[in-house]
Structure 1
Amino acid sequence: MPTHPLGCHRPRISDRIVFDKMLQLLRFGCSYQAIADTTCSATTIRNRRDEWIRLGVFAELRRIALDAYDRIAGLLLDRIAVDGSITKAPGGGEVAGRSPVDRGKQGLKRSGMTDGYGIPLGRVLAGANRHDSALLAPTLDLLDDLGPLPDDITVHLDAGYDSAKTRALLAERGLRGRIAHKGEKAPIQASQRWHVERTHAWQNAFQRLARCYERRATVINAFFDLADATITVRSLIRRAWTTHRWSHRPHRCP
């Protein structure tokens, strides 16, 4: 690494230190100033975050985790689930809107897609005032990034998607839909969409996603990619615990 000619150049903060700070920000949802200390300043965290976003580090981390899961446990792509989730966005921002379930306060909606086990496959961000069905098409477009797909795919949706427009959209893409009907109680028509609802709960356990103060969509997506990678690795360890053995395996499943 080149040094300053006067010998006063400060060395670059280790990526490991900054990455640990990013994980703490994601989990606890605190401010950059609160997480900064003598090892790393808030400005350094923001600058390194933006640098990694430009380089596609967070998206690549999520892709690596997803590929590893698919190779070892196998993604269940013959049945997927899509659903929306609204969280608070007190700071507003590019993808915030008036929340219909929070007295018109600023909120963030994510239209998430998971496989048959609940592994997050991607999400589309929008304002809380956007209807779930309007985000279905761009959410299903994320399937194109997953490579070869099964010939027969069933999409599980809740009653909010119960419309002729949704069925026509699925038919155009060669997908089968299992959609809950409006006016019928959920236990009677329960399907496999609970996997995506569980994944939303996993994501909301990361406080930075449950109450989002970030204003830029690229930054929000970066934190979601980091959370999805964490969820995928955790799920892989849990599933591999009963099917695989490896050296230095932990004594208990985390």
Structure 2
Amino acid sequence: MNLLEDLTPAQQEAVTHGEGPLLILAGAGSGKTRVITRRVAYLIHQGVRPGNILAITFTNKAAGEMRQRIEALLPHSRVLISTFHSLGARLLRQYADRLSLDRNFTIYDQSDRARLVKVALEDAGIDNARFTPETIAAAISKAKNQLLNPERYAQQAGDFFSQTVAGVYPAYEKRLRAANALDFDDLLFWPALALKHDPELRAELDSRFRFVLIDEYQDTNQAQYAIARGLSVDNPNLCVVGDPDQSIYAWRGSDIRNILDFERDFPS
């Protein structure tokens, strides 16, 4: 199959882009997934090893669709196609020793998290009927997506609610460790911090994933942004696709500045 035959000139330019950062602004229905999958196939045809390519999207459904399209173009290509959270879980299990984690950790879902927050409230001696465990859990989730550990969160806690969360957050983390568990947000939090603070690990992963492609980049939060940037230092071959007008996860901590500032982050 000719990878370029049914693409517009702009799409062809994106697919055949060589090394270096690439920002693709594209709205819904504009063939974003087609461009990403064709670019992956093009890179492999140009001699890039499949194991050096990482494609990231936001949902398992989208990752599955992308995987099917790439398999149709290049059967058995073995490109890693993942959500951010699945990638985080993979890295945390692989590098658990470096992060002082047990690789057999359990991943807690939202109901587990709310249950643990309720226990942490008791541990912290906080009896406050004004806020539900779910509300406090959501605040801790947002803190982790902003890469705020309990100490840093407490430093900026101003109002009564934030101070309540600051009192619960350390107790919640202690309970997680005791249960050998991570919550869903830890799957982003810990890899992001590792990439920031462990230069050797960052260089190893940057070398492994020489080409990184991310769909729906406008929906990334600070933790996801840190992962994307950490994987694109020595090999800044980061291709991001998104539409600033389509950001839908602001309530969950997404930061529209990540896509708006892409050209500032990568002046080349």
TM-score band by shorter chain is under 0.3
TM-score by length of 2: 0.24
Question: Which one has a larger percent helix, Structure 1 or Structure 2?
Answer: 2
Question: Which one has a larger percent strand, Structure 1 or Structure 2?
Answer: 1
TM-score by length of 1: 0.25
